Amino acid sequence: MTFLFRTDASTAIGTGHVMRCLALAQAMQDSGADAVFLSSTLTPALEKRLQTEHMRTMTLTAPPYGTEDAKETAEQAKKLGAAWVAMDGYSFKPSYADDLKSHGLHVLQFDDGIPLLRREYRQWQSWTREIRPKARHILITLGGSDPKNVTSKILEAVNAISSSLKISVVVGGSNSHAAEIEKTAKASPHEVTIFKNVSDMASLIAEADIGITNGGTTAYELAFLQLPMIIAVLAENQRPVAAALTKAGCAEEWTGTASLEKLLSDAKKRALMAHTGRVCVDGDGTDRIMMRLLDHRLRLRPVRDEDSELILRLANDPETRSASFSTAPITPEEHRAWFTKKLQEKTTTFLLAIDAEDQPVGSIRFEEKPEVTLSFSLAPEHRGKGLGTELVRLGTEKYLRAHPKGIVHAWVKSANDGSASIFRKIGFQELSPEGDVLHFSVDSSRIPS
The domain that holds 429 is classified in CATH as: 3.40.630.30
* Mean pLDDT, residues 144-152: 90
- pLDDT at residue 114 greater than cutoff 90: no
Whole-number pLDDT of residue 176: 87
Q: What string of DSSP letters covers 165-216? A: -EEEEEE-TT-S-HHHHHHHHHT-SSEEEEEES-S-HHHHHHH-SEEEEESS
Residue 117 lies in a domain: no
Terminal alpha carbon distance of the chain: 12
pLDDT over 70 at 415, yes or no: yes
Cα(203)–Cα(305) distance, integer angstroms: 21
pLDDT digits (tens, 9 = 90+) for 57-69: 999 999 999 999 9
My answer on whether 51 and 158 are in the same domain is no
In a domain, 185, yes or no: yes
Q: State residue 449's pLDDT score.
A: 53
Range 19-37 average pLDDT: 95
Domain assignment of residue 42, yes or no: yes
Domains: count for the chain: 3
Predicted pLDDT of residue 14: 87
Do 175 and 214 contact (CB within 8 A), yes or no?
Answer: no
Residue 350 within any structural domain of the chain:
yes
DSSP 306-329: GGHHHHHHHHT-HHHHHHSSS-SP
Measure the CA–CA gap between 314 and 310, rounded to whole angstroms. Answer: 6
- pTM score > 0.85 for this model? yes
Per-residue pLDDT of 262-280, as tens digits, reads: 999 999 999 999 999 999 9
139 shares a domain with 70: no
Residue 259 to residue 270: CA distance in whole angstroms: 12
Is the pLDDT confidence value at 205 over 60? yes
Residue 114 in any domain: the answer is no
Quick one: what percent of the chain has pLDDT higher than 70? 99
Query: Could you list the residue range(s) of the whole structural domain that residue 347 is in?
Result: 296-446
pLDDT band at 301 (very low <50, low <70, confident <90, very high): very high
pLDDT at 446: 78
- Do 221 and 260 share a domain, yes or no? yes
In this predicted structure, what is the pLDDT of residue 448?
54
Within-domain flag for 118: no
For the segment 247-273, the average pLDDT, to the nearest whole number, is: 96
Which of 280, 308, 339 is where one domain is finished? 280
Query: Are 8 and 97 part of one and the same domain?
Result: yes
Q: Is 307 found in the same domain as 271?
A: no
Q: Kindly state whether residues 324 and 238 are assigned to the same domain.
A: no
Which pLDDT belongs to residue 329?
A: 96
- What is the predicted pLDDT for the residue at 351? 98
Residue 14 lies in a domain: yes
Q: Let me know whether 227 and 271 are in one domain.
A: yes
The DSSP call for residue 28 is H
Q: Are residues 133 and 98 in the same domain?
A: no
Whether residues 414 and 318 share a domain: the answer is: yes
Q: Is residue 167 domain-shared with residue 255, that is, in the same domain?
A: yes
Residues 6+ apart with CB under 8 A from 366: 348, 349, 350, 372, 373, 374, 395, 399, 408
Tell me the pLDDT band of 24, cut-offs 50, 70 and 90. very high
Per residue in 336-382, pLDDT (tens digit) is: 999 999 999 999 999 999 999 999 999 999 999 889 999 999 999 99
pLDDT value, residue 443? 94
Residue 143: pLDDT over 90: no
Identify the three-state secondary structure at position 303: coil
Same domain, 90 and 225: no
Q: For the segment 154-202, what is each residue's pLDDT rounded down to a tens digit?
A: 999 999 999 999 999 999 877 889 999 999 999 999 999 999 988 889 9
CATH number reported for the structural domain that contains residue 97 in this entry: 3.40.50.11190
d(CA 51, CA 349): 29
The span from the CA of 383 to the CA of 422, in Å, is 12
* Nearest CA-CA partner of 261 in 362, 340, 160: 160
Verify that 130 and 250 share a domain, yes or no: yes
CATH of the domain at 133: 3.40.50.2000
Q: Is residue 116 part of a domain?
A: no
Task: Please calculate the CA angle 166-172-178 and round it to the nearest 5 degrees.
Answer: 75
**Which among 64, 86, 109 is the end of a domain?**
109
Percentage of the chain surpassing pLDDT 90? 90
Domain end residue (candidates: 79, 109, 139): 109
Reported confidence tier of residue 11, pLDDT bands at 50, 70, 90: confident
For range 244-250, the mean pLDDT:
97
Pairing of strands 298-302, 348-355: antiparallel
